[in-house]
A and B are shown apart, each in its own frame.
Chain A
Amino acid sequence: MSMQNLYLLVPLAPLVGAVAAGLFGKCLGRAWSHRITIALVAVSFFASLAIFRDVMAGAPVFNAPVYTWLTSGDTSFQVGFLIDKLTVTMMLVVTFVSLMVHIYTIGYMQEDPGYQRFFSYISLFTFSMLMLVMANNFMQLFFGWEAVGLVSYLLIGFWYKKETAIYANLKAFLVNRVGDFGFLLGIGLVLMVFGTLDYAAVFANAASHAGDMAPIPGMSVNLLSAICILLFIGAMGKSAQFPLHVWLPDSMEGPTPISALIHAATMVTAGIFMVSRMSPLYELSDAALSFVMVIGAITALFMGFLGIIQNDIKRVVAYSTLSQLGYMTVALGASAYSVAIFHLMTHAFFKALLFLAAGSVIIAMHHNQDIRFMGGLKKYMPITWITSLIGSLALIGTPFFSGFYSKDSIIEAVALSDLPGSGFAYFAVVAGVFVTAFYSFRMYFLVFHGKERFADTHHDDHGDHHADAHDDGHGEHDEHGHHGSGKPHETPWVVTLPLILLAIPSVLIGFIAIEPMLYGGYFGDAIFISERHPALHEMRHEFHGAFAMTLHALTTLPLWLAIAGVASAAYFYLKRPDIPAAIQKRFQGIYTLLDNKYYFDRFNDWFFAGGARGASRFLWKFGDVKLIDGLMVNGSAKLVGMLSGVVRRVQSGYIYHYAFSMIIGVFVLLTVRNWF
C-alpha cells in the first residue's frame, strides 16, 4: 500500500467504524459493534505506527491536498494532509489512547443501553481528532476543531436523561464556541493578509509581515500579535484555559472513558498542538507569547488549588488536568514547544491511566464517586491500586517516571525565559508542584489507604446527585450487585488490561523520549524557534542525558516540594484526619471561595446567560412586538382604519348629503377657476 493510501486509512478507518456502529448498531448487535470499531481503531493505530517508522527512516515531509473543498475568487480551499514528526507524534498518541479506551469501554459500558451509540461516538471522535492533527491548512483545522467539539458535546450529554449532563454539554459547547469565535476571526485575518489558508505558504511569508499593523479599524496592534492572540482564544476554549476553563470540570458528567480520552488525553490538548503547529507565527510576537504564558500560569496554579477540596474522584482528576494543561501552555509561552508536546504526550498516558483507574474504582464502588466513602481499596483491587500509584507518581514528577522529565523541563524553560510575565509564571509552576503532589496523594490515600469507609454507606446516605442521576442513565444497572455484594472486587480484564498498557509508557516514555524529542532535533522543521528565545537552546547545553538530569534534580526545589506535598497529604489524611476539617473551619472564607470555584460559574450564569436572556426578552417584547409590530405595522393599519372611518361618514347614503356636497364642490371649482 502506498504511503498516501496509508495516510488516508488512518482517519477513515475509525470513521467507517463510527458509521457502522452508529447506523447499523442495531443489526450488528453489541459484540460486533465493539469488534468492528476496535479493529478499525487498531488498524488506524498500526497504520500510524507504520507512518512513524517511515518518518523516522527519513521520509520527507508530506504536504499535499486530498481534494478541493471549495474555490472562490483565486483562493482554493482544500482538504489535505501534512505529515511530519509533530503530526505523527500526535497520531500515535491519539490512536493509542483511543484504542485503550475502546477496549476499556467494553467493561465500563457493558450494561448501558446506549452501548453501540457510545462506540460510534468515540470512533467518530478519533476520526475528528485525526483530521485536526493531520490538517495542512487552517480550514481543515477548524473543521477538526469543531468536530471534536461536537463529539465532546454528544458524549458529555451521553446520559441525556440526566439534567446535570445536558446542562454540562450545552455549557461546554457554548464556552467552546466563545473560543471558536476568536479562532475564526484569527483565520479570517490570516486569509486576508496571506491570501491563503495553507500552513506552509502562511509560515513561509510570516516573517515578511512581522512589523505590520493589524487591519483592525480603531485599534493599533501588531498584525501577528492580533492573529496569534485570536487563535489562542480558540485554544483557551478547547484546552480549557482561564477564563474559558469553566466547562471542563462539568464535562465529568459524561461517562468515564471519554473523560480519559477526550477531556484529558487528546481533545483538550488540541490547543497545545495548535500553538505548537503555529510556532512560526507565535515566535514573531512576544506579546502573544507573554499572553499565552500568563494565561497558562494562572490556569496551572489556581486550578490546582481547586483540586484540593474536591471530593468527587473524577473532579479531582479534572482539576488536575486543567492545571497540567496550564503547564503545557506555560511551556508554549516560553517558546519551548517541543517541551509542551513532550508533556502533552506523557500527560496523555498518565492522565488517561488515572482516569481509567478512577473509572475502575467507580465500577467497584457501584458508581459512587465520592472519595470520602472509599478507602482501603488497595487490598481488593491490586491492579487498579498499583497502576493508580504509578499514574500519581508520574503526575507529581517523581524521578524516573515520565512526568518528571516533562514537568521539570517546563520549569527550567520558564526559568530561562525573559518575556514579561515569566517571573510570575515561574512562581506558578514551581508552587504548582506542591499543590499537584498534595491533591494527587490526598486522593490516592483517601481511595486506597486508610479506613474502609464504603461498607457502612450506600449512596442514599449522601444523596449525591451524580450517583442518582447516573443510575437512571444506566437503567437496569441498579438491579444487580448494588446492595447485595459485600466487598468490592477487581474489575474484569478488559478494564485492567488498558490500565497496565497505559502504565508502561507512563513510567518509561519520559526517560526514553526526552533526549531525542527535546534535544535531538526530533521535530526538525516542524517547530520553529526564533533566536530571540534561546531558552531551549541553553537547556540543551546543560543537558547531559536523562540520568544526569535525574540526579541533578535531587538538589533542586521542585522535587522537594513534591515530596513535601506527598508527606503533608499523608500526614493530613492518614495520620490526622481531623486536621483538614479544622483547617477548613479556620479558613472558612478561602474554603468558600474555592468551593464556589472562584465564583466563575455564578458570574457567568448571572452576567452572560442571564444577560443574554434579558436582552433577548427586551429586544423581542419591546423592539419587535411593541415598536415594529405595535407602532409601525398595526399602527399604520389602525391609522388607515381611522382615516377610512372618517371618510366613510361622507358616504351616508342620503341623497341630500350628496347633493349638498356637489353644490359646494361646484362652488369651489368655480371660485378656483375664476381666481387663477
Chain B
Amino acid sequence: MIFGLPVISVAIWLPIIFGILVLATGDDRNAPLARFIALVGSVIGFLVTIPLYTGFVRDTSEMQFVELHDWITRFNIHYYLGVDGISVLFILLTAFFTPIVVLAGWKVIEKRVAQYMASFLIMSGIMIGVFAALDAVLFYVFWEAMLIPMFLIIGVWGGQNRVYAAVKFFLYTLLGSLLMLVALVYLYNQSGGSFEILDFHQVALPMTAQILIFVAFFFAFAVKVPMFPVHTWLPDAHVEAPTGGSVILAAIMLKVGAYGFLRFSMPIVPDASHKLSGAMIALSLIAVVYIGLVALMQSDMKKLVAYSSISHMGFVTLGFFIFNNYGMEGALLQMISHGFVSGALFLCIGVLYDRMHSRNIADYGGVANTMPVFAAFFMLFAMANSGLPGTSGFVGEFMVILGAVKVNFWYAFAAASTLIFGAAYTLWMYKRVIFGAVANSHVAELTDLTLREKVIFAILAITVLGMGLYPLPFSEIMHASVNDLLVHVARSKLPL
C-alpha cells in the first residue's frame, strides 16, 4: 500500500495519469513544462515500484500484492493484478527505463514534445499492466494497448522509412495476438467460465488441444521475442524508431513475449511444451548462431544491435525450454541484463546519431579521439554485450550454457558459439566506429558527452557492473516462483 492505495495499481496508473497531464500542456510552446512533468512523473513512477521489491516475500511462489475487483461480471472478467518472482523484476525494469528515455529525448525531440513524452509514460503504465495482469482479458487489453503508443512513436518520430516499419511492426504483432485471443476464449470455455490465468494453469487438456493452444500462443509470443523466423520486423522497427523507442522496444517489449511463454504457454500446456521443446530449442539455437552470424556484416549500427538482440533473446527461449533451474533463472537474468545492455547500446548509437545524423558504421572512425568519455562507456556496454564476466551480460549466458550442458552437450556447444560471434560483431563494430585515426571532418567536430548524457550512462554502467559482480539480489527473488513453475511444468495435464 502506498498512501492507502494498492501498489500495483499505482505503478500502472500513475505514469498514465502523468502522461495525460503531459498531454494537457498542449503544443510545443510549453515543451519545457512537458519535459519537466514527464521527468517528475517517470521518477515517481519508478519510486513507487520499489516497495514491490522490498516488500516481496521470497519464500513463496504465491501471487503477492494481489488486487481483485469485478470488472465485467457478465463474462466473469476481473480487474485482477498480482506479481510473483517471475514478473516482479520486469515491473521494476519497465519503471526504471521510463526516466531514462525521458532524459534521452530531452534535447533531441523538438517537435510534438508533449505527445512524445506522454507516449512513453502511458506505455510504461501499460507494460507494467501486462506484467501484473492475472486476468486473461485484462492481460489482452494491456497487450494490445501496448501496440498503439509504440506504433505512434515509430510512425511519428521515426526515420525516413518509418511508415513501412510501423505498419510491418503493427501487422506482425497484431496477427500473432489474434491467434492468442482465440486460444484464450477456448480456455475460457474449458475452464468453466473463468478468465483467470491461474485457473487456466489447472485446466486439464488433451494433447491435440494443447498443441493447438501452444501454436496459437507461439505466434503471439514468438513474434514479440522475436524468435527466428518471425524476427524480421525488429531490425526495421529499430532502424526507424527514435532512440527512446528503440530503447523501450529492446529493453522491455521483447521481454513481454518471453514473459508470455512463462505465464501462459508452459504452465497452461505443459505436455505440449515438452513435446515441442525440441523445435523450440532448435529455433533458439538458430537464433543464437544464424542471427549472430547475420549481425556480423551489418553496416547499420542499429541493425547490428537489433540482430544482436535477437541472438541474445535466443538464449532466453533456450533457457526456458531446457526445463531446469539454471536454464530458467539464467534466461530470466538474461532478460533483465539484456534490457540494460541493449538499452544502453541503443542510447550509445543515439548519442552518435544526434551528433552525426548517421547510423552507418562507415561514416565513423576514430571517435575515441574526440569523445573519450563516450568511448569508455561504449566499451563497457560493448563488453557486456559480448558477455564478459563481471558485467550483467555474462550471468544469464553463463547460466543458460551450464543448464544446456545438462540436457545435451551439443546444445551448449551451439549456444557457446556466441562467445566468439557475439564478441566478433560487437567488437568489430566498436573497432570501426571508435578506434582508429579521425576518419573525417565530421568526426573531428564531435563533442563529448554532456552532463545529462553522462548521468544516463553512469546509471546504466553502475547497473550493468553491479548486476555482473553481484547478481544474487536479482536471482534470489525468483527462486520460489521458478521452482514452482518447474514442478508445475513437470506434471502432466492430460485428462486421465
Interface residues of A (CB under 8 A from B): 67-73, 75, 139, 142-143, 146-147, 150, 153-154, 157, 160-161, 163, 166, 170, 173-174, 177-178, 180-181, 184-185, 187-189, 191-192, 214-218, 472, 612-613, 615-617, 619-620, 623-624, 628-629, 632-633, 637
Contacts and interface: CB of A to CB of B under 8 A. Distances in A.
Contact of B229 (A178, A184, A215, A628): A628
A146 B389 contact: yes
B97 to A, nearest CB: 24
A181 B427 contact: no
A616 B366 CA distance: 25
Nearest to B479: A71
Interface stretch (B253-261, B266-274, B276-284, B324-332): B324-332
A72 B319 CA distance: 13
B466 interface: no
A503 B34 CA distance: 69
A34 to B, nearest CB: 20
A192 B293 contact: no
B454 interface: no
Contacts of B26: none
A344 to B, nearest CB: 24
A69 B475 CA distance: 10
A472 B437 contact: yes
Given A215-B409, A612-B424, A620 B297 contact: yes
B326 A70 contact: no
B293 A185 contact: no
B140 to A, nearest CB: 24
Given A174-B420, A616-B296, 8 more contacts: A68-B472, A72-B326, A154-B379, A184-B419, A612-B424, A616-B297, A620-B298, A632-B229
B389 A143 contact: yes
Nearest to B437: A161
A620 B232 CA distance: 11
13 contacts: A70-B472, A70-B475, A139-B398, A161-B437, A180-B419, A184-B398, A184-B401, A184-B416, A188-B412, A188-B416, A613-B297, A616-B293, A624-B232
Interface in B79-123: none
B290 A619 contact: yes
Contacts of B471: 69-70
A185 B398 CA distance: 10
Contacts of A166: 431, 435-436
Which size bracket describes the interface of B in this complex? Answer: 35 or more
Given A150-B388, A188-B412, A624-B232, A73 B297 contact: no
Contacts of B412: 185, 188
Contacts of B366: 161
A428 to B, nearest CB: 30
Given A185-B413, A189-B405, A71 B294 contact: no
A173 B423 CA distance: 8
A170 B424 CA distance: 8
A146 B229 CA distance: 33
Contact of B395 (A70, A214, A613): A70
Given A69-B470, A178-B420, A184-B419, A147 B294 contact: no
Interface in B319-340: 324-326, 329-330
B472 A147 contact: no
Interface in B396-430: 398-399, 401-402, 404-406, 408-410, 412-413, 416-417, 419-421, 423-424, 427-428
A615 B294 CA distance: 8
Nearest to B406: A192
B324 to A, nearest CB: 7
A69 B467 CA distance: 10
B168 interface: yes
Given A67-B470, A71-B472, A72-B325, A612 B389 contact: no
A568 to B, nearest CB: 43
B159 interface: no
Contacts of A142: 389
Contacts of B389: 142-143, 146-147
Q: Find the residue from B388, B395, B409, B469 having the highest chain A CB count within 10 A.
A: B409
B25 to A, nearest CB: 39
A178 B413 CA distance: 12
4 smallest CB-CB distances across A and B, nearest first, come from A188-B405, A73-B325, A616-B296, A143-B389
Contact of A170 (B326, B402, B431): B431
Contact of A157 (B383, B401, B424, B435): B435
A147 B390 contact: yes
Nearest to B408: A217
Contact of B475 (A71, A170, A214, A616): A71
B427 A623 contact: no
A166 B324 CA distance: 41
Q: Find the residue from B389, B410, B413 having the highest chain A CB count within 10 A.
A: B389
Contacts of A177: 419-420, 423
Nearest to A182: B416
Nearest to A159: B435
A174 B399 CA distance: 22
Contacts of A139: 398
A188 B407 CA distance: 11
A160 B419 CA distance: 24
Contact of B294 (A143, A174, A616): A616
Contacts of A218: 410
Contacts of B354: none
B368 interface: yes
Nearest to B427: A170
B232 A628 contact: yes
A191 B479 CA distance: 19
A423 B184 CA distance: 71
Contacts of A191: 402, 405
B436 to A, nearest CB: 6
Interface string B356-387: 00000000001011000000000100010000
Given A147-B389, A620-B297, A71 B476 contact: yes
A624 B423 contact: no
A48 B95 CA distance: 46
Contacts of B401: 184-185, 188
B111 to A, nearest CB: 30
B443 to A, nearest CB: 12
Nearest to A197: B402
Given A188-B402, A617-B297, A619-B290, A633 B417 contact: no
Nearest to B296: A616
A628 B408 CA distance: 29
A178 B435 CA distance: 23
Given A620-B297, A624-B294, A69 B472 contact: yes
B431 A619 contact: no
Contacts of A623: 290, 294
A126 B492 CA distance: 54
Q: Find the residue from B326, B401, B402, B472 having the highest chain A CB count within 10 A.
A: B402
Contacts of B479: 71-72
A150 B423 CA distance: 11
B395 to A, nearest CB: 7
A292 B462 CA distance: 41
Given A616-B294, A633-B232, A185 B423 contact: no
Given A70-B475, A613-B296, A623-B290, A170 B409 contact: no
A180 B387 CA distance: 12
A181 B369 contact: no
Contacts of B410: 216-218
A181 B294 contact: no
Interface in B416-472: 416-417, 419-421, 423-424, 427-428, 431, 434-437, 469-472
Nearest to B330: A72
Given A142-B389, A174-B423, A615 B293 contact: yes
Contacts of B171: 637
A613 B295 CA distance: 10
A638 to B, nearest CB: 13
Contacts of B404: 188
Contacts of A71: 472, 475-476, 479
